[in-house]
Amino acid sequence: MESARTRPSTRINRLGEEQSGSRERPHELLDSTPLATVALVRDGHPVAFPTGFARIADELVIHGSTGSRWLRALTDGASAAVSVTALDGVVVARSGFESSFRYRSAVVFGRFERVPDDQKLDYLETLMDTFIPGRVAELRSSSRKELAATMALRMPVESDNWSLKISAGWPEDPDDDVAAGAWAGLVPLTTAPDVPAHTPLPDSVRAMTGTLRNMAAHRA
């Protein structure tokens, strides 16, 4: 396990007021999305891989093929940074400078270890039921060949190896921009509280909300 001396700093320097030290908030984020990006240095080069994950108790768990070079690098002790982000909305301000996103983003630093073979099946089934609740009971048992071809890795989520940043505010427009009367708010559609009721919805926001509706209908 890495010492505090060798770990990257978890202190946020830019917009530090958005950093959260709540122990529950990173768990909420990790439980809200099944996709993470794992970054490491392999063969002298930085690499990053999107992968499914789940939080199991106080561990961040991933899995994959025993033939995967980057997973083998992790089992060999490579330090990793795991990034998880949930996009909660687009903040539409009255200027391009103030426009931004509402999001929650966490980074967990550390080293993965391979889950022992006698625990692997339990971990893999927990992963499956996290991705698709109740699915394990509907499936046949994994074969020995499938289990032998799959590895599960875990990283502890401790008190000092994660950083969480939450952006949840409204546009911070200067008074002159507010007085100009343009619309501002959040997409999915929520009008900012300082927008007069008669302010028309701009075409750019109408187009964005229409795109989101079409994407949702396509997924359905």
Q: Among 52, 38, 180, which residue's Cα sits nearest to residue 109?
A: 38
Q: Among 165, 157, 160, which residue's Cα sits nearest to residue 27?
A: 157
Whether 27 shows a pLDDT value over 90: the answer reads: no
Instruction: Give the per-residue pLDDT at 4.
Output: 45
Q: pLDDT tens digit string along 145-200?
A: 999 999 999 999 987 888 898 888 889 999 999 999 999 998 876 788 888 888 88
What does the domain layout of the chain look like in residue ranges? Answer: 16-89+101-169, 171-220
Q: Which residue has the tokens 């996009």?
A: 87
At the top level of CATH, which class does the domain 16-89+101-169 belong to? mainly beta
pTM: 0.75
Pairing verdict, β 45-56 and 100-111: unpaired
Euclidean distance between CA atoms 175 and 55, whole angstroms? 44
| Average pLDDT of the residues in 99-125 | 95
